[in-house]
């Protein structure tokens, strides 16, 4: 007569197996997190490259002119105006809103450009009522419209300092930044351009820059010159770099075309 075995896992054996599983999960989760982060960094870089290529196509269609930033701080959109300053009206008599530049570029890339980086966890994404309101926004319903901004030395007619507005105006396009990532929070979270001239001469340029651009978009400590972000250049390439590689001093940097090496 055969006897049925009643042997099974003991409590100690079960605890050992569970401990091994927990240990493996603890080892694998950070690795999976790093892999996911790396994939998002590459996706953001790819998005920037598409923006650069679309920008070149836009310039070809517009006699070499570079696309301009057109969102004021807090995400205020502008309207088309006549030479006398009055609004251009549509057939119904309403002011014509200027299309944000990133939407224009997306149309040149068959919709392959995303306004939001996969790394961007800004609390200001909407549309309202979702997301937090932007600091100092005159309209509480304004929200972040894009992760990306345009170097304010490139085709931004602020009148604050000389800019270039044409592709052929720079002899070293591989050294001149065009697109960057805007700060996740604060007044510049709703803008599509920083005021880079303010960064020069500060005791800690990275500290000023961080309030306008997310210089640690990829990794690194806030307000640190070692912080790394993704940066897009006029020659259509984009790369991950520490802030210190772009801004050395007023006479050598990747923002002011006259100081680009």
Is residue 92 situated within a structural domain? yes
For the segment 206-223, the average pLDDT, to the nearest whole number, is 96
The pLDDT value recorded for residue 76 is 76
∠ CA 89-94-99, rounded to 5°:
75
Is residue 175 situated within a structural domain? yes
Is residue 93 situated within a structural domain? yes
Going 78 to 79 to 80 to 85, the CA torsion angle's sign is negative
> 184: buried, middle or exposed (CB in 10 Å: 19+, 13-18, 0-12)?
buried
Whether the pLDDT of residue 140 is over 70: the answer is: yes
Is residue 24 situated within a structural domain? yes
Distance of CA 136 to the CA centre of its chain: 21
Instruction: Judge contact between 196 and 250, C-beta under 8 A.
Output: no
Higher local confidence (pLDDT), 71 or 254: 254
Instruction: Judge contact between 133 and 142, C-beta under 8 A.
Output: yes
Query: b/e for 198-217, b at 16 or more Cβ within 10 A?
Result: ebbeeeebbebbbbbbbbbb
Over residues 69-105, the pLDDT tens digits come to: 888 777 777 777 777 878 788 888 887 888 889 999 9
Higher local confidence (pLDDT), 19 or 205: 205
Dig out the tokens for 205 from the structure.
Answer: 């340029």
Bridge partner list, 180:
149
Quick one: what percent of the chain has pLDDT higher than 70? 91
- Report residue 161's pLDDT band, with 50, 70 and 90 as the boundaries: low
Predicted model pTM:
0.83
Whether the pLDDT of residue 246 is over 90: the answer is: yes
Domain count, the chain: 1
- Report residue 165's pLDDT band, with 50, 70 and 90 as the boundaries: confident
Is residue 3 situated within a structural domain? no
Q: How far apart are CA 138 and CA 126, in angstroms?
A: 16
Over residues 179-196, the pLDDT tens digits come to: 999 999 999 999 999 999
Domain that holds residue 30: 13-253
The pLDDT value recorded for residue 14 is 82
Is residue 76 situated within a structural domain? yes
Dig out the tokens for 248 from the structure.
Answer: 């050395």
Is residue 2 situated within a structural domain? no
Dig out the tokens for 88 from the structure.
Answer: 């251009």
Q: How far apart are CA 112 and CA 48, in angstroms?
A: 11
């Amino acid at each position: 007569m055969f006897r049925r075995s009643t042997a099974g896992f003991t409590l100690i054996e079960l605890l050992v197996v569970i401990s091994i599983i927990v240990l493996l999960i603890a080892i694998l989760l950070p690795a999976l997190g790093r892999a996911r982060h790396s994939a998002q960094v590459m996706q953001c870089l790819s998005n920037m490259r598409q923006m650069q290529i679309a920008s070149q196509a836009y310039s070809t269609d517009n006699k070499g002119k570079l696309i301009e930033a057109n969102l004021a701080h807090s995400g205020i959109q502008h309207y088309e105006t006549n030479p006398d300053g009055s609004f251009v009206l549509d057939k119904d008599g309403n002011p014509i809103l200027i299309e944000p530049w990133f939407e224009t570029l997306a149309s040149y890339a068959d919709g392959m450009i995303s306004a939001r980086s996969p790394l961007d966890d800004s609390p200001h994404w909407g549309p309202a009522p979702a997301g937090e309101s932007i600091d100092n926004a005159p309209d509480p319903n304004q929200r972040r419209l894009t992760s990306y901004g345009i170097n304010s030395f490139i085709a931004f007619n602020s009148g604050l300092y000389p800019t270039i507005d044409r592709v052929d105006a720079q002899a070293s396009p591989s050294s001149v930044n065009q697109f960057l990532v805007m700060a996740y929070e604060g007044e510049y979270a709703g803008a599509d351009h920083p005021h880079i001239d303010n960064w020069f001469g500060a005791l800690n340029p990275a500290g000023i820059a961080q309030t306008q651009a997310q210089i640690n978009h990829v990794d690194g400590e806030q307000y640190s010159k070692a912080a790394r972000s993704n940066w897009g250049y006029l020659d259509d390439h984009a790369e991950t770099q520490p802030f210190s590689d772009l801004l050395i001093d007023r006479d050598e940097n990747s923002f002011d075309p006259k100081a680009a090496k």
